[in-house]
Amino acid sequence: MKCILKINVACLLLLFYSCNYIPAESNKETEKRSIIFAQGDKNTTQNFNGEVWVKSLIDADSLNETAVGNVTFAPGARSKWHSHPAGQILMVTDGVGYYQEKGQSKVILRKGSVIKCPPNTPHWHGASPDTAFVQLAITSRTNGPTVWLQTVTEKEYRD
Amino acid sequence: MKCILKINVACLLLLFYSCNYIPAESNKETEKRSIIFAQGDKNTTQNFNGEVWVKSLIDADSLNETAVGNVTFAPGARSKWHSHPAGQILMVTDGVGYYQEKGQSKVILRKGSVIKCPPNTPHWHGASPDTAFVQLAITSRTNGPTVWLQTVTEKEYRD
């Protein structure tokens, strides 16, 4: 009887350790999976609603007026309505989010989605209610800065 | 004795199934991890050496002259030396690669690295010898197309 008990304990210990074993490389990759580019600091401007992190990755300069930012939206967070005088390109690197142009239906964006927003077109983007959303924003400063507009209402967000 | 044997078999079966169990979501994410944006077709131009896949994600147009491409280099693959009349931005989404401007040291790029290449500056980029490399290339067409130059020699690649 003692022998059976010892064998059981040995098997259970083996089971416990083997199932908690994660190869170092795999573990490392899992941690990094959803963060490719730096997340940056939490937004403190009035241009967003909800928790948003913004990191400027590339600044525009006189030789290349293209700026690239990484924007991370917590579930439910979103930008205000706004427009870009030279348009904008959005590249989704993780999560599930929304994009909507004034007068158009809301578009669902997922990892790998790409959006080209025309110049001077009011639009907003943000996370879906239950999933965070990470996107690169590529914006030319050639015709001036972003024009910020009104808050996205709950009805607009939910419709 | 038969009883011990049965317990051992039961424990081993439990061990086998529990350690081969991968949650559906985790498995799905692992498969998608290294491919965020479409990989596209294998390059057939003379502008690269080695196996390279190129996907145009955003085309330049008259309203927004910024183009975005996704380029995947197999280990050891690389571009020829080349320059861009309006410069280029590289955003690394996976792997390990190299970037070098004429007269400068080679820079090692990893997932999350960002490079701003000045206008009319000869440079090359590609994968490290043992690891594939995936990058977004953001290029303004305002001043004309890419100027392709000579092949990167083995010495230049290895130095």
Q: Where are the domains of chain B?
A: 2-32, 41-158
Amino acid identity for residue A98 in this structure: Y
Closest CA of chain A from B110, distance in Å: 10
pLDDT at A118: 96
CB B70 within 8 A of CB B37: yes
**Range with the lowest mean pLDDT among A38-47, A60-69, B21-30, B35-44?**
B21-30
Cβ density class A26-57: b for 16+ within 10 Å, e for less? eeeeeeeebebbeebeebeeeebbeebbbeeb
- Judge whether residue A21 has pLDDT over 70: no
- Judge whether residue A96 has pLDDT over 70: yes
**Range with the lowest mean pLDDT among A33-37, B50-54, B132-136, B140-144?**
A33-37
A41-158: which CATH architecture? Sandwich (2.60)
DSSP letter (8 states) at residue B43: P
pLDDT at B22: 39
Side-chain half-sphere exposure of A120, counting CA atoms within 13 A = 4
Three-state secondary structure call for residue B5: helix
Confidence of residue B132 (pLDDT cuts 50, 70, 90): very high
Question: Measured between beta carbons, which residues in chain A are less than 8 angstroms from residue B11?
Answer: 7-8, 11-12, 14-15
Kindly give, in sequence order, each residue whose CB lies less than 8 Å from that of residue B77, ignoring residues fewer than 6 positions away: B48, B49, B50, B51, B52, B126, B127
Dihedral sign, Cα of residue A8, residue A13, residue A14, residue A16: positive
- Judge whether residue A34 has pLDDT over 90: no
Interface test with A, best of B64, B72, B116 (most A CBs within 10 A): B64
Which tokens hold the place of A137? 């924003």
Interchain CB distance below 8 Å, B68 and A14: no
The share of chain B scoring above pLDDT 90, in percent, equals 73
- Judge whether residue B21 has pLDDT over 60: no
The ipTM of this complex is 0.77
Q: What is the pLDDT of residues A42-89, one digit of tens each?
A: 999 999 999 999 999 999 999 999 999 999 999 999 999 999 999 999
- Among B7, B63, B89, select the one facing A87 at the smallest CB separation: B63
Cβ density class A100-125: b for 16+ within 10 Å, e for less? bbeeeeeeebebbbbbbbeeeebbbb
Question: Measured between beta carbons, which residues in chain A are less than 8 angstroms from residue B15?
Answer: 11, 14-15, 18
Three-state secondary structure call for residue A2: helix
Amino acid identity for residue B128 in this structure: S
Of residues A55, A59, A57, A85, the one with CA closest to residue A72: A55
CA–CA distances in Å: residue B81 to residues A78, B49, B65, B102, B146 = 42, 11, 23, 9, 11
Overall pTM surpassing 0.80 (yes/no): no
Interchain CB distance below 8 Å, B68 and A89: yes
